[in-house]
Structure 1
């Protein structure tokens, strides 16, 4: 009889324990594995805060560099520590020079594909100070019709190779060309992608459409030899970038000699590589 009474007493306790454990697991499942995993593989660059929100900036490297920077961001409510899924953004990077300030090429900001809380875009820093200083960024955003702003200084590190170039064309317009791909070059045919922007004002740098860029890759340390099966860069309307095949026959330091032509085929910048002229005045660098 004592054993039967013990079982009757024990069963409700076991049932309550199982119920509590089940509820706890359900809560864990509902927690934020998705929110956390949405920035897997990315490194935080910095937080930009105001009184109500924190904007988290990420990329793969964890730093801004001269040239093309793909940037991911999340917006956190400071009061609830929850991430906001619906918001619209714009940004304005600025570099302060001794007598003036200017911006740089930048994209619109949109929701990252397949993400709930991550937004993304790109910024192309065409220059920086030797210590990485001089740049700041202002981010404006709207949530449920309410407008907010946040800003802070940022550090932009000089890239080792020339992956971006700013120059005056023969049409008296300033252009910026930036190397975007390949990220991990291989021996063989690589997908080459570059951006072309024009400085409309000190703060506006629209994409240049339907120009042509000739490509002549060379290895200065190896007799300045070229490679076979390269193609010239042409504009792709779907991503507003310029694409080509880049043939790399060996590892090492390469100079991508370029010539920029407008839609009328007028030469704006660059020269052919010859025995007398070993490098174009318009070029990008790549090393792997």
Structure 2
């Protein structure tokens, strides 16, 4: 009898909790309700009775590749807006000029209230020069604008994840390493390449090639076996290859950029006389 009473009591409590959950579908405390729970909110721009929230896996805007997520909250209803159309322009305000940087279109994700894109900042801000993020968004045919100054920093570890340089062809390029978690093994390795056609326009470059030569400067500048140079992948729009890391520590990934005719645009071979390329990424793990 005691077991039967306990069973009925358990069922009653379960039914009560289930009923409460069903009647409170908008509660932010429900598990899985916040799609950005595992991300960091980098800024919230207050404008037009909206809060435009920008999220990242990182804890701040950094030079190099930044995958960003955007949400728009309606201040009057405290709810997130679905299926908006959003564009952005990152703008660097320098002392004598302004310029943008490589960036993607913003697209919707599986969650209709979350929008996604990337920005490649090629330089950090400083007290006199700074980045602004300008957004234009449309909701039910109504267009709005919002702009906010943002702080872009160099990586905390000081390692090089992006190169902005003039090629031997007279064109300026931006080459960014894609984030990855290095391990002692042959790692998948990728990068994105852009050409600066104007101060505002940085289209991706296709069908070039990027030679890699990883070295450990602190360990006699030794290399590693089984590396695969980066070649363009039409599906991902990235340059894909493999980098072999045989031990933990600091690695300089020496690079050499070549065009479709195999002409070297930037970078040099590593030899006994030349210990590093002028074009490289740095990783440490």
Aligned counterpart, 1:224: 221
Aligned counterpart, 1:211: 208
Residue 42 (structure 1) aligned with residue 61 (structure 2): no
Cα offset for 1:181? 3.1
Computing the radius of gyration from Cα coordinates, the structure with the larger value is 1
Aligned counterpart, 1:122: 118
Residue 137 (structure 1) aligned with residue 139 (structure 2): no
Counterpart Cα distance in 2 of 1:37 and 1:84: 14
Output aligned runs, 1:25-36, within 5 Å: 25-29=21-25, 31=27, 33=30, 36=33
The SS at the match of 2:178 is: strand
Residue 133 of structure 2 contacts residue 147 of structure 2 at CA under 8 Å; is this kept in 1?
yes
Aligned counterpart, 1:106: 103
| Structure 2 unaligned spans of 5+ | 1-14
Aligned counterpart, 1:158: 154
Residue 249 (structure 1) aligned with residue 250 (structure 2): no
Q: Which has the higher helix share?
A: 1
Counterpart Cα distance in 1 of 2:76 and 2:129: 32
Aligned counterpart, 2:3: none
Residue 181 (structure 1) aligned with residue 179 (structure 2): yes
Counterpart Cα distance in 1 of 2:220 and 2:127: 35
Residue 172 of structure 2 contacts residue 195 of structure 2 at CA under 8 Å; is this kept in 1?
yes
Counterpart Cα distance in 2 of 1:61 and 1:189: 25
The SS at the match of 2:244 is: strand
Counterpart Cα distance in 1 of 2:259 and 2:284: 29
Query: Please, what is the CA RMSD of the aligned residues?
Result: 2.0
Residue 209 of structure 2 contacts residue 231 of structure 2 at CA under 8 Å; is this kept in 1?
yes
Cα offset for 1:130? 4.3
Aligned counterpart, 1:260: 257
Residue 130 of structure 1 contacts residue 158 of structure 1 at CA under 8 Å; is this kept in 2?
no
Counterpart Cα distance in 2 of 1:116 and 1:21: 28
Counterpart Cα distance in 2 of 1:143 and 1:30: 22
Aligned counterpart, 1:279: 276
